[in-house]
Structure 1
Amino acid sequence: MRAIWKGSITFGLVNVPVKLYAATEEHDVELHQVHDADGGRIRYERKCEVCGKKVEYAHIDKAYDDGEQTVVLTKDDFSALPAEKSREIEVLEFVPNEQIDPILFERSYYLEPDSKSPKAYVLLLRVLEETERTAVVQFSLRQRTRLASLRVRDGVLMVQTLRWADEVRAAEFESLDADITVGEREMKLARSIVSELEADFEPEQYVDVYQQQLRTLVEAKLDQGEALDTAATFGKAEDEGAEVIDLLEALQRSVAKKQGKGADAAGDAASKGDGDEAADTADKADKKPAKRTKKSKSA
């Protein structure tokens, strides 16, 4: 990995020199745009409206237009800002780990100690672990002041940039203003479904199915060209059956499917109108101990 920023964490009078590394990366299949008529590549060029010439990034500045006049800001102007010059990750406060809402998280970065003696780095790491606290920090990166969380992950300090509070929209939906009643039978069935799917989260077991299928499609097209039969490549789409409108019926079918009874048994239970069998099963599931599916790491 290549460090994208160097500076230091400051809390109290303690200074911790660090290097910043991007902690995540994309693996999407790279695609570009072409003309559907002849396959010609579609390109976007940066052209000056005054001289009509193509302009390289090195010769592009930024500007602000208030409607009457334009102010051009050069790279030197940006670098002169005090915040841009700062190389400190300033700790503002230490908060309980659970108090930062995940909706605020943006990008994640690893911090590596950048000194001959990483003692101060390890000290901060251990005190965060012991106190179960996250540091709320502020620093400048790529011409922006960033609010961020500083926490421990797998024995390494990690910074995760946060959205500012006014960047999060309020969730105000009229559809939730109505007085909605959920019956106990529906709750029992829903609890049963949750119980069947309980597990410890292990992100390694999940893959980007769309990207896998896209790669398969690209490889098949390279091999077969326009004669590609997508049905033969991917198989026919599974028939999910008729659309279920009634919530209780959908819950009954879900429980029956988990029991391995199939759609016919679920349909029979639903047609009786009372859902006693599914509800009884759900009631029993409520009394069972929680199902654990996490596998041993040594297995």
Structure 2
Amino acid sequence: MIVARPVWAGSLSFGLVSLPVGLYTATDSHTIHFHQLQRGTSDRIRNRRVNERTGDEVELDDIVKGYDTGDEYVLVEPKELDEIAPGRSRSLEIAGFVDLSEVDLIFLDKIYYLGPRGAEYGKVYSLLEQALEKSGKAGIATFVMRQHEYLVAVKAENGLPTCHTLHWADEIRDPKKEIGDLPGKAKASDKELKMAEQLIEALSMEWNPEEFHDTFQERVVALIEAKRAGKTVEKAEPAAKATGAVDLMEALRASVERARSPKVTGGKAAGPGVIAEKKPGAKKRIRSTPPTDGNGG
């Protein structure tokens, strides 16, 4: 079995207890990636690092960071960024513990697994996990990784400590500034509020992430396979129309009745029609089509 390498290694400390740990990526993306091609050919479009004055391509080793002060650039070498925090780049020190309920979801960013750096630290590692689990708290800490400082929450999850990177408070945007037409707390009638609560209750369920999967990616795969076979696929259903204030009560009532009735689910693949086409002189075949009416064929 191939063991993954940690993306960061250092010491996690709480109080006078220190535990050598590694940070391991906990999630994976199943996004389908496409190459950029020039339309009508199989020629790849690539990004290059180019000197904007000369137009010449620049090697990565010849690139330094420059901070624009307005009338000049202050140049900073990568090693200089490492030298200003050598200790902190190898230390994850917990400043204190907070109740998990106090950490708003908007602050959560990425998640990593924490693993012990050596079998001899198994007892300390297990003690930290059990204490976090029993207390229902998360340890708040900061550390430096890849020339960036991170705010993190260390919590117990599925039998091991995990490390959630958090957004800094000043990174959270003010919704009142971002959304210009917020309606405020519009007054709802008692009947509308009661019906909305009934709808929420009727649609309540147990959280089981295994029941959910990325249907859009499945449709992308179906589209690619259909294009390879020279077939067409049906288009997706149009989005639902917005509910107006006049129709709100009736929409709520119908929704509750529907939620309480036996559920029937189904789905259709989405995407444009496709045909096969071969471009002369191309290294690889290109398959593309104009839009169709989505009736298949």
* Structure-2-length-normalised TM-score: 0.78
Is residue 84–residue 143 contact of structure 1 (8 Å, CA) maintained in 2?
no
| 1:217 aligned partner | 223
Greater Cα shift, 69-78 or 213-222: 69-78
CA distance in 1, matches of 2:136, 2:261: 44
Which of 152, 165, 171 is equivalent to 2:169?
165
Question: Aligned in 2, Cα 1:94/1:258: closer, same or farther, shift over 3 Å?
Answer: closer
Structure 1 residues 169-196: Cα deviation after superposition (integer angstroms, max 9, x where no partner): 1222565555622112212322222122
- C-alpha distance in structure 1 between counterparts of 2:112 and 2:223, whole Å: 33
2:30 counterpart residue number:
27
**Whole-angstrom distance in 1 between the partners of 2:12 and 2:242:** 56
**CA-CA distance at 1:133 after TM superposition:** 1.2
Figure out how many residues of one structure are paired with residues of the other and give that number: 255
1:147-226 pair list within 5 angstroms: 147-172=151-176, 175-176=181-182, 180-224=186-230
What is the aligned partner in structure 1 of residue 126 from structure 2? 122
1:112 is matched with 115
- CA distance in 2 between counterparts of 1:125 and 1:219 reads 45
Per the alignment, residue 91 of structure 2 pairs with: 88
Further displaced range: 42-51 or 65-74: 42-51
1:75 correspondence with 2:78 = yes
SS at match of 1:7: strand
Q: Give the Cα separation in 2 of the matches to 1:47 and 1:121.
A: 48
The aligned amino acid for 1:33 is Q
Given that residues 88 and 143 in structure 2 are in contact (C-alpha distance below 8 angstroms), is that contact kept between their aligned partners in structure 1? Answer: no
Match status 1:10 vs 2:9: no
CA distance in 1, matches of 2:104, 2:239: 39
Give the whole-Å Cα distance in 2 for the aligned partners of 1:3 and 1:179.
47
TM superposition shift of 1:41: 2.4
Contact kept? 2:129, 2:156, Cα under 8 Å: yes
Which residue of 2 is the match for residue 257 of structure 1? 258
Name the structure 2 match of 1:99: 102
**Which residues of structure 1 form unaligned runs of 5+?**
262-299
Match of 1:141 among 123, 145, 167: 145
Q: Deviations over 1:254-289 (max 9, x none)?
A: 13333559xxxxxxxxxxxxxxxxxxxxxxxxxxxx
TM-score calculated relative to the size of structure 1: 0.77
Sequence identity percentage: 31
Unaligned runs of 5+ in 2: 263-297
The change in CA–CA distance for 1:40 and 1:140 in structure 2 (over 3 A counts) is same
What displacement does 1:30 show? 0.8
Distance 1:168 1:223, change over 3 A: same
- Does the CA-based 8 Å contact 1:61-1:72 persist in structure 2? yes
Name the structure where helix makes up a greater proportion of residues.
1
Equivalent residue letter for 1:40 = D
- Distance (Å, rounded) in 1 between the aligned partners of 2:76 and 2:196: 57
Name the Cα RMSD after superposition. Answer: 2.5
